[in-house]
Amino acid sequence: MTKRLDMNQIVSKFGAMMLIGVLITSVGTTQVFADWDKTVYPAIQGTIPIADGEDYTTKNKISLVDAMAIAENILPNSKALYGKLTTVNGYLVYKVFMSNDDREYNKILVDAGSGDELYVSDTITKNSYKKKFHKDKAHNKKMKDYFKGMTPEQISEKKKQFKEMGDAWKSISLQDRAFMILHFMQMKIQWDTMSDDEKAVKKAEMKKQWEEYLPMSVEEKKQKLTDYIQSLRE
């Protein structure tokens, strides 16, 4: 079980900033990740039916780490970057987001009762999502705002650092990735209770930590992540 921390502890211990950044940049683009819950899934036959509005948080029979391991067995050349317990078409499932070294993506549904594979999406290639998001005006504006004032060399270095963030996330164990995802969910609950002013202050603090973290090497990023996970387990 993850240790419960207040938001000040989370920020001061580097966790919130690092985890949010890892989860976003390891996917490669925020837009690929934003499409996470927009997929229209085909009819599936799960083992745990869930009625509309029913609390399903304790009804799963396998854990998140189990589901992520199953997904990695289904696609052995990919890593499970993110997963969550949810319902699809009236059944309890784990949605698992997968990525390989070519930055191609798949979504997998794993039955939360039996662990059976229920669905594997077609592969989303790097070129296909680049073409799609090139037309996304909101995404383009966000990227332009982020890179505003930077030279081409600085932009290239930032993109390299983002990729290294993803490499660091993929390099830690499956168990640690699952542990951090669950911790992130706990932090989000706490974040949602904060006022807008409190969030603004914390965002500024996390941005500063983020800028300090990005220039680190892949090994340094991995070590920071590993150290933080260990601090939560103690």
144 and 73 housed in the same domain: no
Length of the chain: 234
Buried b (16+ CB within 10 A) or exposed e, 58-73: eebebebbbbbbbbbe
67 and 158 housed in the same domain: no
Q: What is the residue range of 196's domain?
A: 1-35+126-234
4 and 73 housed in the same domain: no
49 and 83 housed in the same domain: yes
**Distance, CA of 182 to CA of 4 (rounded, Å):** 11
pLDDT value of position 130:
57
Closest to 6 in 3D by CA, of 197, 177, 202, 182: 202
138 and 230 housed in the same domain: yes
Number of domains in the chain: 2
**Distance, CA of 181 to CA of 184 (rounded, Å):** 5
pTM: 0.79
Question: Over the chain (234 residues), what is each successive 10-residue block's mean pLDDT?
Answer: 46 47 47 62 95 96 98 96 94 94 91 98 76 57 78 88 83 91 82 86 79 84 86 82
Closest to 67 in 3D by CA, of 78, 83, 81, 51: 83
Give the helix/strand (H/E) hosting 105: strand 105-111
**Distance, CA of 60 to CA of 126 (rounded, Å):** 33
Contact 123, 106 (CB under 8 A): yes
pLDDT value of position 10:
41
Burial of 192 (0-12, 13-18, 19+ CB in 10 A): exposed
Domain stop point among 93, 120, 147: 120
pLDDT value of position 138:
61
**CATH number for the domain harbouring residue 99:** 3.10.450
2 and 113 housed in the same domain: no
pLDDT value of position 124:
85
130 and 215 housed in the same domain: yes
Name the E strands within 17-77. none
84 and 156 housed in the same domain: no
Domain stop point among 120, 150, 171: 120
Domain stop point among 120, 149, 177: 120
47 and 30 housed in the same domain: no
Cα–Cα separations (whole angstroms), residue 130 to 16, 45, 85, 90 = 28, 33, 28, 33
211 and 130 housed in the same domain: yes
**Distance, CA of 139 to CA of 101 (rounded, Å):** 24
145 and 29 housed in the same domain: yes
29 and 140 housed in the same domain: yes
pLDDT value of position 2:
45
